[in-house]
Amino acid sequence: MPRIETLWGPWEPAPLTEVVALFQGLAVPWWVSGGYAIELAVGRSYREHADVDISVLRRDQQAVRALLAGWDVHAADPPGLRPWPMDEVLPGHVHDIWVREHPGGPWRFQLMLDEADGEMWVYRRDPRIRRPLSTLTIVDNGVARIAPEVQLLFKAKDPRPKDELDFTEVLPVLDRVRRGWLDEALAVAYGDHPWRARLRN
Protein backbone atom coordinates (compact mmCIF):
# COMPACT_ATOMS: atom_id res chain seq x y z
CA MET A 1 0.00 0.00 0.00
CA PRO A 2 1.22 3.55 -0.64
CA ARG A 3 2.86 5.68 2.04
CA ILE A 4 1.24 9.11 2.25
CA GLU A 5 2.65 12.06 4.17
CA THR A 6 0.31 14.32 6.14
CA LEU A 7 0.73 17.23 8.56
CA TRP A 8 0.21 14.74 11.40
CA GLY A 9 2.57 12.04 10.21
CA PRO A 10 2.65 9.40 7.50
CA TRP A 11 -0.03 6.91 6.55
CA GLU A 12 0.97 3.29 5.94
CA PRO A 13 -2.39 1.51 5.94
CA ALA A 14 -2.51 -1.92 7.53
CA PRO A 15 -3.73 -4.79 5.36
CA LEU A 16 -7.50 -5.01 5.47
CA THR A 17 -7.29 -8.58 6.75
CA GLU A 18 -5.30 -7.46 9.81
CA VAL A 19 -7.78 -4.72 10.69
CA VAL A 20 -10.72 -7.08 10.24
CA ALA A 21 -9.02 -9.61 12.53
CA LEU A 22 -8.64 -6.93 15.22
CA PHE A 23 -12.30 -5.99 15.06
CA GLN A 24 -13.50 -9.60 15.16
CA GLY A 25 -13.14 -9.25 18.94
CA LEU A 26 -15.61 -6.35 19.15
CA ALA A 27 -18.98 -7.17 20.69
CA VAL A 28 -20.90 -4.30 19.02
CA PRO A 29 -21.73 -3.93 15.31
CA TRP A 30 -18.92 -2.79 13.02
CA TRP A 31 -18.37 -2.85 9.29
CA VAL A 32 -15.85 -2.21 6.56
CA SER A 33 -16.53 1.12 4.85
CA GLY A 34 -14.81 3.47 2.42
CA GLY A 35 -13.24 2.33 -0.83
CA TYR A 36 -12.68 -1.22 0.37
CA ALA A 37 -16.43 -1.66 0.91
CA ILE A 38 -17.04 -0.72 -2.72
CA GLU A 39 -14.28 -3.04 -3.90
CA LEU A 40 -15.75 -5.92 -1.88
CA ALA A 41 -19.12 -5.26 -3.53
CA VAL A 42 -17.51 -5.32 -6.98
CA GLY A 43 -15.74 -8.57 -6.12
CA ARG A 44 -12.26 -7.73 -7.38
CA SER A 45 -9.41 -5.30 -6.83
CA TYR A 46 -9.21 -2.40 -9.28
CA ARG A 47 -7.31 0.40 -7.51
CA GLU A 48 -4.93 1.17 -4.64
CA HIS A 49 -6.31 2.32 -1.29
CA ALA A 50 -4.72 5.10 0.73
CA ASP A 51 -6.44 4.04 3.96
CA VAL A 52 -8.62 1.44 5.63
CA ASP A 53 -11.97 2.57 7.04
CA ILE A 54 -13.95 0.77 9.73
CA SER A 55 -17.28 2.21 10.91
CA VAL A 56 -19.28 1.80 14.10
CA LEU A 57 -22.26 3.55 15.61
CA ARG A 58 -21.46 6.62 17.70
CA ARG A 59 -23.38 5.11 20.61
CA ASP A 60 -20.90 2.20 20.67
CA GLN A 61 -17.75 4.32 20.70
CA GLN A 62 -16.69 3.37 24.23
CA ALA A 63 -16.63 -0.33 23.35
CA VAL A 64 -14.34 0.50 20.43
CA ARG A 65 -12.09 2.70 22.56
CA ALA A 66 -11.68 -0.20 24.98
CA LEU A 67 -10.77 -2.52 22.11
CA LEU A 68 -8.07 -0.03 21.06
CA ALA A 69 -6.67 0.43 24.58
CA GLY A 70 -3.18 -0.56 23.45
CA TRP A 71 -3.16 1.69 20.37
CA ASP A 72 -2.36 5.37 19.86
CA VAL A 73 -5.78 6.83 19.01
CA HIS A 74 -6.46 10.41 17.90
CA ALA A 75 -9.71 12.20 17.12
CA ALA A 76 -9.93 14.48 14.08
CA ASP A 77 -11.22 17.53 15.95
CA PRO A 78 -10.80 20.62 13.74
CA PRO A 79 -8.43 22.25 13.16
CA GLY A 80 -6.30 19.14 13.77
CA LEU A 81 -5.86 15.85 15.59
CA ARG A 82 -5.88 15.32 19.34
CA PRO A 83 -5.49 12.25 21.55
CA TRP A 84 -8.71 10.42 22.44
CA PRO A 85 -8.55 9.57 26.16
CA MET A 86 -10.00 6.24 27.22
CA ASP A 87 -12.85 7.73 29.25
CA GLU A 88 -13.93 10.53 26.86
CA VAL A 89 -17.23 10.44 25.00
CA LEU A 90 -16.46 12.27 21.77
CA PRO A 91 -18.56 15.34 20.89
CA GLY A 92 -21.06 15.11 18.06
CA HIS A 93 -18.92 17.01 15.55
CA VAL A 94 -16.13 14.43 15.77
CA HIS A 95 -16.71 11.43 13.52
CA ASP A 96 -13.21 10.55 12.22
CA ILE A 97 -10.54 8.82 14.34
CA TRP A 98 -6.97 7.99 13.29
CA VAL A 99 -5.29 4.91 14.75
CA ARG A 100 -1.67 3.69 14.90
CA GLU A 101 0.29 1.20 16.99
CA HIS A 102 2.39 3.78 18.86
CA PRO A 103 3.21 7.51 18.91
CA GLY A 104 5.49 8.48 16.05
CA GLY A 105 4.53 5.45 14.00
CA PRO A 106 2.53 5.55 10.77
CA TRP A 107 -1.25 5.77 10.88
CA ARG A 108 -2.76 2.35 10.16
CA PHE A 109 -6.53 2.74 9.84
CA GLN A 110 -9.44 5.13 10.34
CA LEU A 111 -12.45 4.63 12.55
CA MET A 112 -15.64 6.40 11.46
CA LEU A 113 -18.59 7.11 13.77
CA ASP A 114 -22.04 6.77 12.22
CA GLU A 115 -25.27 8.17 13.62
CA ALA A 116 -28.39 6.26 14.62
CA ASP A 117 -31.80 6.98 16.08
CA GLY A 118 -33.09 3.82 17.71
CA GLU A 119 -33.05 1.17 15.00
CA MET A 120 -32.61 3.69 12.18
CA TRP A 121 -29.31 4.74 10.62
CA VAL A 122 -29.14 8.51 10.06
CA TYR A 123 -27.03 10.22 7.39
CA ARG A 124 -24.99 12.72 9.37
CA ARG A 125 -24.89 15.28 6.54
CA ASP A 126 -28.67 15.32 6.14
CA PRO A 127 -30.75 13.66 8.89
CA ARG A 128 -33.76 13.50 6.57
CA ILE A 129 -32.06 10.48 4.99
CA ARG A 130 -32.55 7.37 7.10
CA ARG A 131 -32.85 3.63 6.72
CA PRO A 132 -33.22 0.64 9.04
CA LEU A 133 -29.95 -0.46 10.60
CA SER A 134 -30.85 -3.98 9.53
CA THR A 135 -30.36 -2.91 5.89
CA LEU A 136 -27.19 -0.85 6.39
CA THR A 137 -24.66 -3.65 5.98
CA ILE A 138 -24.08 -6.81 3.98
CA VAL A 139 -22.29 -9.78 5.54
CA ASP A 140 -19.94 -11.85 3.37
CA ASN A 141 -17.91 -14.68 4.89
CA GLY A 142 -18.61 -13.38 8.39
CA VAL A 143 -17.42 -9.82 7.65
CA ALA A 144 -19.88 -6.94 7.45
CA ARG A 145 -19.46 -4.17 4.88
CA ILE A 146 -21.57 -1.08 4.35
CA ALA A 147 -24.15 -1.36 1.56
CA PRO A 148 -22.57 0.11 -1.58
CA GLU A 149 -25.35 2.61 -2.20
CA VAL A 150 -24.82 4.09 1.28
CA GLN A 151 -21.07 4.39 0.79
CA LEU A 152 -21.70 6.07 -2.56
CA LEU A 153 -23.91 8.62 -0.84
CA PHE A 154 -20.93 9.65 1.30
CA LYS A 155 -18.71 9.79 -1.80
CA ALA A 156 -21.21 11.89 -3.76
CA LYS A 157 -20.75 15.16 -1.88
CA ASP A 158 -17.66 16.25 -3.81
CA PRO A 159 -16.50 13.29 -5.90
CA ARG A 160 -12.76 12.87 -6.42
CA PRO A 161 -11.41 10.80 -9.33
CA LYS A 162 -11.29 7.70 -7.13
CA ASP A 163 -14.93 8.25 -6.13
CA GLU A 164 -15.96 8.50 -9.76
CA LEU A 165 -14.06 5.28 -10.45
CA ASP A 166 -15.77 3.54 -7.52
CA PHE A 167 -19.17 4.64 -8.80
CA THR A 168 -18.40 3.41 -12.31
CA GLU A 169 -17.09 0.05 -11.12
CA VAL A 170 -19.92 -0.75 -8.69
CA LEU A 171 -22.81 0.58 -10.79
CA PRO A 172 -23.28 -2.66 -12.78
CA VAL A 173 -23.78 -4.69 -9.58
CA LEU A 174 -26.39 -2.37 -8.07
CA ASP A 175 -29.88 -3.80 -8.45
CA ARG A 176 -32.99 -1.72 -9.05
CA VAL A 177 -33.75 -1.30 -5.33
CA ARG A 178 -30.25 -0.09 -4.46
CA ARG A 179 -30.17 2.27 -7.44
CA GLY A 180 -33.57 3.64 -6.50
CA TRP A 181 -32.56 4.27 -2.89
CA LEU A 182 -29.40 6.12 -3.92
CA ASP A 183 -31.25 8.15 -6.56
CA GLU A 184 -33.78 9.32 -3.96
CA ALA A 185 -31.11 10.02 -1.35
CA LEU A 186 -29.05 12.08 -3.82
CA ALA A 187 -32.17 14.06 -4.74
CA VAL A 188 -32.78 14.91 -1.09
CA ALA A 189 -29.17 15.72 -0.21
CA TYR A 190 -27.80 17.24 -3.42
CA GLY A 191 -30.63 17.90 -5.86
CA ASP A 192 -29.72 17.31 -9.49
CA HIS A 193 -26.58 15.27 -8.87
CA PRO A 194 -24.83 14.02 -12.06
CA TRP A 195 -24.88 10.43 -10.85
CA ARG A 196 -28.68 10.31 -10.83
CA ALA A 197 -29.08 10.01 -14.59
CA ARG A 198 -26.62 7.14 -14.71
CA LEU A 199 -28.47 5.36 -11.92
CA ARG A 200 -31.66 5.42 -13.99
CA ASN A 201 -30.07 4.07 -17.21
| pLDDT score recorded for residue 163 | 97
How many C-beta neighbours within 10 Å does residue 92 have? 10
Conformational region of residue 66, where left means phi above 0, alpha means psi within -120 to 50, and beta covers everything else: alpha
Nearest to 33 by CA among 150, 115, 122: 150
Q: Angle of helix 34-42 relative to helix 148-155, nearest 10 degrees?
A: 140
pLDDT of residue 75: 98
Domain boundaries, the chain: 16-147
Each residue's pLDDT tens digit, 91-146 = 999 999 999 999 999 999 999 999 999 999 999 999 999 999 999 999 998 899 99
What interhelical angle do 161-170 and 34-42 show, nearest 10?
Answer: 30
Ranges of residues in the chain whose predicted pLDDT is under 50: none
Residue 9: Cβ within 10 Å count = 16
- Domain 16-147: give its CATH code: 3.30.460.40
Q: Return the pLDDT at 46.
A: 96
pLDDT, position 39: 97
Q: What pLDDT score was predicted for residue 25? A: 87
Q: Which residues have CB under 8 Å from 192's CB, separation 6+?
A: none
Picking from 67, 58, 59, the residue whose alpha carbon sits closest to that of residue 27 is 67
Per-residue model confidence (pLDDT) at position 169: 98
Q: Which of 31, 24, 39 minimizes the C-alpha distance to 139?
A: 31
